[in-house]
Amino acid sequence: MSEQHIAIYPGSFDPITLGHLNIIKRASHIFDRLIVCIMVNSEKHGLFPPEERAELVRRATERFPNVEVDCSHELLSEYARRKGAHVVVKGLRAMSDFEKEFQMAHINRRLNPDLDTMFLTSSEKYTFLSSSVVKELGSYGADLSEFVPREIIGDIERKIRERQAGLGRA
């Protein structure tokens, strides 16, 4: 029996966007198993806590049978080693993404020589899209249906309303 090709698509996914989902769909066709991993940065406090982000990603990706969702507090290179993954998938929107991701790819490879990084360029219609843009648009009550999976729009709108109420903004 041949070895399974496992890849990890790491990120904050706060929240997952249609751009992320496009990369997940494409990578899921390339690898036997794709682990979408919410990487937890203790210094960042996102809109959603990591476990809630994982649940949103699970709902958005449930139609992909070879995609699983996880959270990790450890270094990506160590997480990949533990999971038996040899490839990290990263989506690129612009050259500015490439510089940072190129540097991280080299660091990860230095820490885990068996780990390669595969860059997938964003589909043209998502080059402008980021989780930050979604949160900004959502804070003004914009229609999010062209930016995030429909399964999670209500969750995002609710969380933004809760945050605004907590800050005294209605």
DSSP letters along 88-135, please? EEEEESSHHHHHHHHHHHHHHHHH-TT-EEEEEEPPGGGTT--HHHHH
Catalytic residues: 20, 44, 93, 131
Give residue 129's identity as a one-letter amino acid code. L
Across residues 117-121, what is the average pLDDT? 96
Position 2 pLDDT exceeds 70: no
Question: How does pLDDT run across 7-26, given as a tens digit for each residue?
Answer: 999 999 999 999 999 999 99
Position 152 pLDDT exceeds 60: yes
Of 44-53, 134-143, 152-161, give the lowest mean pLDDT range: 44-53
pTM for this one? 0.92
Question: How does pLDDT run across 40-89, given as a tens digit for each residue?
Answer: 876 667 899 999 999 999 999 999 999 999 999 999 999 999 999 999 99
Torsional sign, CA 7, 60, 11, 52:
negative
